[in-house]
Amino acid sequence: MLNVALAQINPVVGDIKGNLEKIVEAVERTQDKAHLIVFPELAISGYSPEDILLRLDFLEECSRAVEELKRRTKDAEAVIVVGTPLYRGDLYNSLVVIYKGEVLGVYSKGRLPNYSVFDELRYFREGEQPLLISINGYKVGFSICEDIWYPDHLERLTVLSGAELIVNINASPFHIGKQEFREGFVRARAQDNICFVLYSNLVGGHEELVFDGRSMVIDPLGRVVARAKAFEEDTLVLSIDLEEVRRRRLLDLRWRNASKEVEPYPLSAEVSLPQKPYIEPRLEHNPKGEEEIYKALVVGTRDYIRKSGFSKAVIGLSGGIDSSLTACIAVDAIGSDNVLGVFMPSRFSSQESFEDAKELADNLGIEFHTVPIDEVYIAYHNELLPVLGEIEFDTADENIQARIRANILFYLSNKLGHVVLATSNKSESATGYTTIYGDMAGGFAPLKDVYKTTVYKLAEYRNSVSKVIPDRVFKKPPSAELRPNQRDQDTLPPYEILDKILKLFIEDNVSPEGIIKLGFDPETVKKVVKMVKGAEYKRKQAPVGIKITPRAFGKDWRMPIINKF
């Protein structure tokens, strides 16, 4: 038996000392239970430091942190695996294996992702050497994140050299469907190699990314035998029977034939550790659907606010579904005492909107204020009369109301030190149906990557936990209430249709012609695509928000503003 611990921590990018303390604390807490303690990818620096990685002083501090970790764990009866940037004439994304104050070996990531939100080829050089060590007579191989996606990468050589266990450390961000995909290929590697796989993942939010944890242990049959908590810091400790690997390999002719064709890779180190008590594995709840998305939004919002140095948030409450859901997320992220809701009615705001906003605030237990904007709007109009004269009410008059509201929220932010949470969703930002410097303005946008139809589903989920959003918010037609009798559907197709078109065009890269062939109305498709392209300049100026789909308006959407295609 070998006892292993997967310590999924929530580091802060650049907080090297703070991250080190988390690592040391986890070692101290688990060293008497585990022979092997594994931390996630770039645990020392946080993921991802981006261009801070191009600073030598930053890399030197990461190196000092590794030396400090060696010093502070020299009495630990456990082997420690930790991810860090490593500068050796060039920069590598590496893991360092430490025991008794010494480095047993270093492995550097070989498959560097350079797509979606990843830019690792900008920073790192590919590693080219496998790493194989022995703990209590059992051979252990190593890989980092993307490496394990490739069945023929370096850890395959360590497996064919006898490794019964592969340690794979990760900073794998969440999006819808990611967990099923992730489990699928890790299970395949365990089955292909007839070995155990330790999959250690980061947890917590960093700007637009949310890391969902769910570190896991997979056995040689491809079964997930242990899983850590989702969206929470956790240390998963269990005993694994590596004799099972040896038994199964004796019965598998494929593995025996493959292994005899490989020159065995040498061990870098051998360690003998005392026996430790048997620990049963645990399988934590694996959230799915709306529960999973909602947890991601809460963690992303909480960590953005706290890691940015804020403690409180202010939200413009309209009585609509978007601001209601945003308020729920904020309360669940940082607590009701730390959220301020402001209702800012104009002459076009309904009494029902006020009642719904007030009821929501009361149900959530947040501070609530009403700040009318009509007199401010009239002052704008009167001051501009000498410039424009009396002209017909149009979109500019609608937008100025949204911008007045944004000014009020940012004034409160400056006065009180609250971060402004924008309430725009992905459907609106995709089509430009949102006011730049108005309702899309904010310090952070929790719903930035959430389609309108998903907003309703998430709101229903939140009400299933505890009913806080008034029923009428779900039933009334969506409206910006910036002119008389306004409805979103006056400008946009029904959201059930719009969101399907948007997903096909944005996430699946289907051409307008391809979308039309799927049965959508040609004029509707052309209108939607034109709106998406025309709103790029707005999205470039939008606040950062949480990525939950495979392709969000952020680092994995890099479209030129000026684009005639």
Q: How confident is the model at residue 480 (pLDDT cuts 50, 70, 90)?
A: low
Q: How confident is the model at residue 254 (pLDDT cuts 50, 70, 90)?
A: confident
Average pLDDT over residues 82-103: 96
**What angle do helix axes 522-534 and 495-502 make, rounded to 10 degrees?**
70
Q: State yes or no: is 41 an active-site residue.
A: yes
Which residues pair with residue 2 across a beta bridge?
240
Q: Which helix (H) or strand (E) holds 129?
A: none
Name the CATH architecture for the domain at 289-486+535-539.
Answer: 3-Layer(aba) Sandwich (3.40)
So what's the pLDDT on residue 349?
A: 84
**What tens digit of pLDDT does each residue of 4-26 get?**
999 999 999 999 999 999 999 99
Which residues pair with residue 139 across a beta bridge?
134
So what's the pLDDT on residue 396?
A: 83
Domains 2-271 and 289-486+535-539 share a fold: no
Tokens representing residue 108 in the block: 């550097």
SS3 186: helix
Average pLDDT over residues 483-507: 85
* Spatial contact of 312 and 416, defined as CB atoms under 8 Å apart: yes
Q: Output the CA angle 391-394-397, nearest 5 degrees.
A: 90
- The answer to whether residue 485 scores a pLDDT higher than 70 is no
Q: Which of 376-380, 482-486, 528-532, 551-555 has the lowest mean pLDDT?
A: 482-486
Phi, psi at 448, each rounded to 5°: -55, -35
DSSP labels, 133-175: EEETTEEEEEEEGGGGGSTTSHHHHHHHTT-SEEEEEE--B--
- Identify residue 483 by its one-letter amino acid code: R
Among the listed residues 22, 33, 41, 146, the single catalytic one is: 41
So what's the pLDDT on residue 482?
A: 63
Q: Which helix (H) or strand (E) holds 91?
A: strand 91-99
- Identify residue 144 by its one-letter amino acid code: I
**What tens digit of pLDDT does each residue of 276-289 get?**
999 999 999 999 99
Q: How confident is the model at residue 488 (pLDDT cuts 50, 70, 90)?
A: low
- The answer to whether residue 315 scores a pLDDT higher than 90 is yes
Average pLDDT over residues 297-318: 97
Q: Using alpha carbons, select from 326, 355, 352, 319 the residue that is nearest to residue 455.
A: 326
Taking the chain, what is the end-to-end CA distance rounded to the nearest angstrom?
60
Tokens representing residue 565 in the block: 């295609």
Among the listed residues 62, 145, 195, 328, the single catalytic one is: 145
Superfamily of domain 2-271: Carbon-nitrogen hydrolase (3.60.110.10)
- The answer to whether residue 447 scores a pLDDT higher than 70 is yes
Q: State yes or no: is 109 an active-site residue.
A: yes
Q: State yes or no: is 195 an active-site residue.
A: no
Query: Burial, 250: exposed, middle or buried (Cβ in 10 Å; 0-12, 13-18, 19+)?
Result: exposed
DSSP labels, 296-327: HHHHHHHHHHHHTT---EEEE--SSHHHHHHH
Query: Burial, 111: exposed, middle or buried (Cβ in 10 Å; 0-12, 13-18, 19+)?
Result: middle
Query: Burial, 278: exposed, middle or buried (Cβ in 10 Å; 0-12, 13-18, 19+)?
Result: exposed
CA 477 to chain centre: 31
* Spatial contact of 481 and 348, defined as CB atoms under 8 Å apart: yes
* Spatial contact of 457 and 556, defined as CB atoms under 8 Å apart: no
- Strand ranges, E, within 365-474: 367-370, 419-420
So what's the pLDDT on residue 150?
A: 85
Count Cβ neighbours within 10 Å for each residue of 528-549 and write b for 16 or more, e otherwise.
bbebbeebbebbeebbbbbbbb
Cα(421)–Cα(54) distance, integer angstroms: 32
**To the nearest 10°, the Cα dihedral for 45, 48, 49, 51?**
150
Q: pLDDT > 90: what percent of the chain?
A: 81
**What tens digit of pLDDT does each residue of 30-52 get?**
999 999 999 999 999 999 999 99
Q: Which of 126-130, 157-161, 347-351, 475-479 has the lowest mean pLDDT?
A: 475-479
Residue 229 is classified by DSSP as P
Cα(290)–Cα(560) distance, integer angstroms: 33
So what's the pLDDT on residue 104?
A: 97
**What angle do helix axes 452-465 and 321-334 make, rounded to 10 degrees?**
50
Q: Which helix (H) or strand (E) holds 553?
A: none
So what's the pLDDT on residue 134?
A: 97
CA–CA distances in Å: residue 494 to residues 26, 60, 324, 454, 517: 51, 55, 21, 14, 19
Q: How many CA atoms lie within 13 A of 264 on its CB side?
A: 11
Q: Using alpha carbons, select from 536, 524, 545 the residue that is nearest to residue 564.
A: 536
Among the listed residues 22, 33, 62, 109, the single catalytic one is: 109
**What angle do helix axes 16-30 and 56-72 make, rounded to 10 degrees?**
20
Q: pLDDT > 70: what percent of the chain?
A: 98
So what's the pLDDT on residue 562?
A: 85
- The answer to whether residue 499 scores a pLDDT higher than 70 is yes
Q: Where exactly are the structural domains of the chain? A: 2-271, 289-486+535-539
- Placement of tokens 């306004």 in the chain: 486
Beta pairing, strands 36-38 & 79-87: parallel
**What tens digit of pLDDT does each residue of 112-170 get?**
888 888 889 899 999 999 999 999 999 999 999 999 988 888 888 898 899 999 999 99
Which residues pair with residue 201 across a beta bridge?
170
Please state the three-class secondary structure of 1-47 as a single string.
CEEEEEEECCCCCCCHHHHHHHHHHHHHHHCCCCCEEECCCCCCCCC
- Average pLDDT score over the chain: 93
